[in-house]
Amino acid sequence: MNLKNDLILRAARGEKTERTPVWLMRQAGRILPEYRKVREQLKDFVTFVKTPELAAEVTVQPVDILGVDAAIIFSDILVIPEAMGLPYKMLEAKGPWFEKTVKTEKDVEQLRIANGDDLSYVTDAIKLAKKELNGRVPLIGFSGAPWTLFAYMIEGSGSKTFSQAKKMLYTNPKLSHALLQKITDSTINYLKAQIAAGADLIQIFDSWAGILSPEQYNEFSLRYISQICDAITLVPKIVFAKDAYFARKAMSKIKCDVIGLDWTMDIAESRTLIGLNKTLQGNADPCLLYADYDVIKRETEKMLRAFGPSRYIANLGHGLYPDTEKDKVKFFVDTVKEFSTEVR
User: Who's near 70: CB < 8 A, 6+ residues apart?
Assistant: 8, 21, 23, 137, 138, 139, 140, 200, 201
Cβ 315 vs Cβ 282: under 8 Å: yes
What phi and psi, each to the nearest 5 degrees, are found at residue 28?
A: -95, 105
- Choose, from 35, 88, 152, 190, the residue flagged as catalytic: 152
* Alpha carbon distance 68, 138 (integer Å): 10
Q: Does 28 bind ligand CP3 (CB under 6 A)?
A: yes
Residue number with CB closer to ligand CP3 (157 or 216)? 157
Q: Does 246 bind ligand CP3 (CB under 6 A)?
A: no
Which residues, 145 to 204, sit near ligand CP3 by CB under 6 A?
158
The stretch among 22-30, 121-129, 261-269, 303-311 that binds ligand CP3 (CB under 6 A) is: 22-30
User: Who's near 93: CB < 8 A, 6+ residues apart?
Assistant: none
What phi and psi, each to the nearest 5 degrees, are found at residue 50?
A: -90, 10
The stretch among 10-18, 73-81, 126-134, 271-279 that binds ligand CP3 (CB under 6 A) is: 73-81
Minimal distance, residue 157 CB to ligand CP3, in Å: 9
What phi and psi, each to the nearest 5 degrees, are found at residue 244?
A: -90, 55
**Residue of 29, 141, 260, 317 that binds ligand CP3 (CB under 6 A):** 29
**Residue of 98, 142, 220, 332 that binds ligand CP3 (CB under 6 A):** 142
Angle ∠(278,284,285) on CA atoms, nearest 5: 135
**For residue 23, which of 260, 278, 252, 333 has the smallest C-alpha distance?**
333
* Alpha carbon distance 39, 48 (integer Å): 7
**Residue of 96, 138, 156, 282 that binds ligand CP3 (CB under 6 A):** 96
- Cis previous bond, 134, omega within 30: no
Sequence letter at residue 19: R
Minimal distance, residue 211 CB to ligand CP3, in Å: 13
Q: Does 308 bind ligand CP3 (CB under 6 A)?
A: no
**Residue of 147, 162, 205, 217 that binds ligand CP3 (CB under 6 A):** 205
The stretch among 76-84, 130-138, 279-287, 309-317 that binds ligand CP3 (CB under 6 A) is: 76-84
Minimal distance, residue 50 CB to ligand CP3, in Å: 13
**Residue of 20, 186, 207, 281 that binds ligand CP3 (CB under 6 A):** 207
The stretch among 25-33, 123-131, 166-174, 184-192 that binds ligand CP3 (CB under 6 A) is: 25-33
Note if 39 is an active site residue.
Answer: yes
Count of residues that interact with ligand CP3, criterion CB under 6 A: 21
* Alpha carbon distance 130, 134 (integer Å): 6
**Residue of 319, 326, 328, 338 that binds ligand CP3 (CB under 6 A):** 319
Q: Does 127 bind ligand CP3 (CB under 6 A)?
A: no
Cβ 3 vs Cβ 138: under 8 Å: yes
Q: Does 74 bind ligand CP3 (CB under 6 A)?
A: yes
Count CB atoms within 10 A of the CB of residue 100.
14
Residues 205, 20, 33, 321: is their CA dihedral positive or negative? positive
Active site amino acids: 26, 30, 39, 76, 152
Which stretches of the chain bind ligand CP3, using CB under 6 A? 25-30, 39, 45, 72, 74, 76-78, 90, 95-96, 142, 158, 205, 207, 319
